[in-house]
Amino acid sequence: MKMDIFIVDAFTDQQFKGNSAAVVPVEDWLSDDLMQNIAAENNLSETAYIKRIGVNQYEIRWFSPLTEIDFCGHATLASAFVLFTEFGVQSQVEFITRKVGSLNIILNAENEIEMIFPNQKPEVVLTAPLQLLNGLSKEPIQVLKNRQAYFAVFGSEQDVLEVTYVSDELKQLAPLDVVVTSTSERYDFISRYFWPANGGDEDPVTGSIHSGLAPYWADSLGKSDLVAYQASKRGGVLKCSVSEEAVVICGKAVLYLKGKVYV
């Protein structure tokens, strides 16, 4: 059996920047083991599988090299990009997920992809887990949590850029990951994302976590439209717009590879 595969750099308009994702369109779901093995072989932060179920409507599932993931933003952007550029889908697509409901994606007039995600604003944690405090080289000024991760808020951009982590400590927080964040001089806020429990060490650009970061910083900064930067080695820019129910996350993508998977 052979299937199409597309490698896309998401949240960037330059190759080798942003976050890479593999997109594999399927007619029927493969076994979970096979999808996991393909994702491990790809060894990208995410492999997305998409299955058409209606007009401009697809089911989507995401696999890291280690496990199936509940929610992934950059691989959703990559999947929409493939549908818009390679499969003739016009302007809008709906993705049906297993854990976070329906995701509506729009190709706007500026040729940017807008993803409408649920608002996943984090809540303050009164007592931070020791594994989190021991797992970061700097102590945050505040810790919050949502269904995806712990949020470690720092007082300066330099703290976020300099902080290091201990994978073995952060793994003990599973199934939650860790995002570190602060305000920024050039952007509204920056972040870095560590996920040794679910996929790897530091993720290049994490769209899904901005459904929690953007609402937090919208409240803190008193504004609903924000520009964020994920300060990984590859880096990526995300435009965010926050309402009470949803977070619109906007970005670009570029195709890196188009080929076949043989299994």
DSSP code at position 162: H
List, in sequence order, every residue forming a beta bridge with 20; answer none if it has no partner: 9
Distance between CA atoms of residues 169 and 136, nearest Å: 9
Q: Is 163 helix (H, G, I), strand (E, B) or coil?
A: coil
Closest to 250 (Cα-Cα) out of 104, 48, 82: 104
Catalytic residue among 46, 157, 169, 202: 46
**Residue 46 appears among annotated catalytic residues:** yes
Residues contacting residue 118 through CB under 8 Å, at least 6 positions apart = 100, 101, 211, 245, 246, 247
**Secondary structure percentages of the chain, helix, strand, coil, to 5:** 20, 40, 40
Phi first, then psi, for residue 88 (nearest 5°) are 75, 15
Q: Which two tokens stand for residue 233?
A: 């080695």
Residues contacting residue 142 through CB under 8 Å, at least 6 positions apart = 124, 151, 152, 153
Distance between CA atoms of residues 176 and 145, nearest Å: 9
Distance between CA atoms of residues 79 and 77, nearest Å: 5
List residues with catalytic annotation: 46
